[in-house]
């Protein structure tokens, strides 16, 4: 997700870092807000990797020691079923919106 060091010792972007680079580049060209949505059960391993992003510094430290900074108009959205695996540090750095399952899905929209 965040990249890897390949067999020749070079860093290769993962899906998240590749999309992040693209979002930062598009922001610098088009001056538009981009949302990166992480829709999955929250896992402490990758959530903790993002703790420095959620701080005021707004950067991600990669395996090759590069720091990827988050443009101010690139936003992260965590969509998850629960916060059972979220650390207190992740929760305290996030705005949380709870939506009851009675308002989710197509049925409430149809009614």
Q: How many domains does the chain have?
A: 1
Q: Which of 57-61, 72-76, 83-87, 98-102 has the lowest mean pLDDT?
A: 98-102
User: What pTM was computed for the model?
Assistant: 0.72
Average pLDDT over every residue of 71-93 = 84
Mean pLDDT of the chain: 83
Going from the C-alpha of 27 to that of each of 73, 75, 83, 104, 106, the distances in angstroms are 7, 11, 30, 31, 32
Would you say 48 and 40 are in contact if contact means Cβ atoms under 8 Å apart?
A: no
Domain CATH for 62: 3.40.50.300
Q: How does residue 109 score in pLDDT terms, banded at 50, 70 and 90? A: low
Burial of 5-27, coded b for 16+ CB within 10 Å and e otherwise, reads eeeeeeeebbebbeebeebbeeb
Question: Strand 74-79 relative to strand 34-39: parallel, antiparallel, unpaired?
Answer: parallel
> What is the span of the domain harbouring residue 41?
3-109
pLDDT digits (tens, 9 = 90+) for 20-72: 888 888 777 777 888 888 888 888 778 778 877 887 678 888 889 899 888 88
Q: Does 6 score more than 90 pLDDT?
A: yes
Q: Does 104 score more than 80 pLDDT?
A: no
């Amino acid at each position: 997700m965040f990249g890897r060091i390949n067999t020749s010792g070079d860093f290769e972007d993962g899906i998240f870092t590749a999309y992040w680079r693209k979002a930062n580049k598009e922001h610098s060209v088009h001056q538009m807000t981009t949302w990166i949505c992480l829709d999955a059960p929250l896992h402490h391993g990758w959530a903790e990797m993002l703790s420095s992003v959620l701080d005021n510094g707004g950067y991600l430290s990669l395996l090759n020691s590069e720091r990827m900074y988050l443009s101010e108009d690139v936003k992260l959205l965590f969509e998850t079923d629960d916060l059972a695996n979220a650390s207190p540090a992740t929760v305290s750095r996030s705005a949380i919106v709870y939506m009851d399952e009675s308002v989710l899905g197509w049925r409430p929209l149809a009614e």
